[in-house]
Structure 1
Amino acid sequence: MNISIGQYVPGESIFHRSDPRTKLTMTFAYMVIVLLINNFVGYAIAMFFLILAIVSSRVGIRMVLRSLRPIVFLIIFTVILNIFLYQGETLLLSIGFIDIYKEGILFSIQMILRILLLVAGASLLTYTTTSIMLTDGLERIMSPLSVIGFPAHDIAMMISIALRFIPTFAEETERIMRAQASRGADFDSKKLREKIRSFIPVLVPLFIGAFRRATDLATAMEARCYRGGKNRTRYRVLQFSKADIVLTSFFIVFGVLVILSRIFF
């Protein structure tokens, strides 16, 4: 189980140097734009700019592809659900009570592209931004809500910790599965009931390990006199630079092209 979501890849690319507030804002806007795309020309534009962003970040396409492995089941489920349940006008195949329409196949392809673009784009954010910078960026973005009592720092800290521990729990799951397999557990069984039973011995120690790590983290934070965001100073002060201007310009071009694709295609 090789999950790379949440891992930071050190580098000096324009994405690494840009302010986390810029990357967070653009990632959110990017997801909204992807959800608004309604034709294959728009998806082609989004795919082109995503590949260009991956190359510019110097993270590596293989690294991004690794982040897509956990959603393979989701993609398969989405394809099956849309192909067999989508009601269209152009009937391609009818098997008993199951009707497959051309529109259902096209919609399934669009959903696959949408999921891939969303996950890959979100992964690029975590690859080029440390958990500390993510926390600071989220806190600064949500700081105006503090006037109404919104715990901006606490929410930002929880999100960054969750992202940080995704690869850790993935590695621990793999280690537990190997230990159980050496004791005769069969994780490759084709029977659903047997597969569920084989995963029960994995979940119990995984949850125990999660609670243990949470306790250790809480103890470490208290030992360092952590008291939340009030009067907290930062080693690195966030500030915008030329890299943010370049990224913003890059994103504006992307957004304009997608809007034009909706109008003319």
Structure 2
Amino acid sequence: MLKDITLGQYYQVDSVIHRLDPRVKLVATLFFIISIFVADDPIGFIFLTVCLFAIIALSKVPFSFMVRGLKSIIILLLICGLFNLFLTPGDAIVKWGKVQITIQGVRAAILMLVRMIYLIIGTSIMTLTTTPNQLTDGLETGLRALNYIHVPVHEIAMMMSIALRFIPILNDETDKIMKAQMARGASFDGKGIVNKAKAMVPLLVPLFVSAFRRANDLALAMEARCYHGGEGRTSMKPLHYRRRDVMGYFYIFGAFAVVIVLHIIF
């Protein structure tokens, strides 16, 4: 289950998407998220599906690896789908006393599931094709204008980058702790919520200790390198737009315009 979490991981391969400026990928992810909530008809979702699969093909990241992250949230998907299915009022299809399934509920459940799946896959593409350092530089450069209203852009970007980078590290640490505890006779397959919660104690305590130790080591390393925030700092690899980045913006805004037009028409 832990290995199924792909958010925060970087899949190293040479592709057009990997070579794009991180600011382009951040804007593309933002507009894609807006698009999946704007679209509410089959034509719009068919268009978004075509765009999504085209980007996946261009990224050269295996589709099986990309959808692996859905396994870790399958329970959340089921809960959201069932809530929309049974709690949306409308024209009843099936009814058991006060519980009913409506046409509007079926439509809302399908829309919610599709949107959440696309949301996970869309954000995974960004993290799988962009290193944490590139994400930090892209966020800081893209939001630089907010510095004029005293928003700590560099600090926000740094915190997000560190958080994303720690996800796969903590996953690996959890896996190592679980194997070590199982070798000592610990069991994580208890039946019932209470037993499962008790079984997690020998896992969570050393995990929190390890996380705090890593955070302390990182703070000491940053202090030893005279890190004092974003003021006056320069980038080792400054970001510069290239022709492919301009073309990327053109495709992003063009696709978003098509989604808006389809939403208005249908």
When residues 94 and 184 of structure 1 are mapped into structure 2, their CA distance, relative to the original with a 3 A threshold, is farther
The aligned counterpart of 2:264 is 263
**Match in the other structure for 1:23:** 25
The match for 2:74 is 72
Q: Percent identity?
A: 40
CA RMSD of aligned residues (A): 1.6
Q: 2:130 matched to 1:129? A: yes
Cα deviation code 1:182-205 (max 9, x no counterpart): 444443334122112212222211
Matches within 5 A, 1:67-216: 67-89=69-91, 91-216=92-217
Alignment match, 1:247: 248
Tell me which residue corresponds to 1:38. Answer: 40
In the other structure, the counterpart of 1:230 is: 231
The runs of at least 4 aligned residues of structure 1 exceeding 6 Å deviation read: none
- TM-score normalized by the length of structure 1: 0.94
Letter in 1 for 2:177: I
Distance 1:68 1:249 in 2: 30
SS in structure 1 opposite 2:93?
A: strand
Per the TM alignment, residue 221 of structure 1 is displaced from its structure 2 partner at its CA by 1.1
Residues 7 and 69 of structure 2 are in contact (CA less than 8 Å); yes or no, is this contact kept in structure 1?
yes
User: Structure 2 counterpart of 1:92, which letter?
Assistant: I
Instruction: Describe the SS at the equivalent of 1:67.
Output: helix
Could you tell me which amino acid in structure 2 is paired with residue 54 of structure 1?
I
Unpaired runs of at least 5, structure 1: none
Deviates more, 1:241-250 or 1:176-185: 176-185
Residue by residue, what CA displacement relative to the aligned partner does 1:112-169 show, whole Å, maximum 9, x if unpaired?
Answer: 1100111111111111111111111111122111122211111100000000111111
Given residue 247 of structure 1, which amino acid in structure 2 is its aligned partner? G
> How many positions carry a matched residue from both structures?
264
TM-score, structure 2 as length reference: 0.93
- Range with bigger deviation, 206-215 or 179-188: 179-188
Query: What is the DSSP-based 3-state SS (H/G/I as helix, E as strand, rest coil) of the residue aligned with 1:30?
Result: helix
Measured after TM superposition, the shift of residue 260 of structure 1 is: 2.4
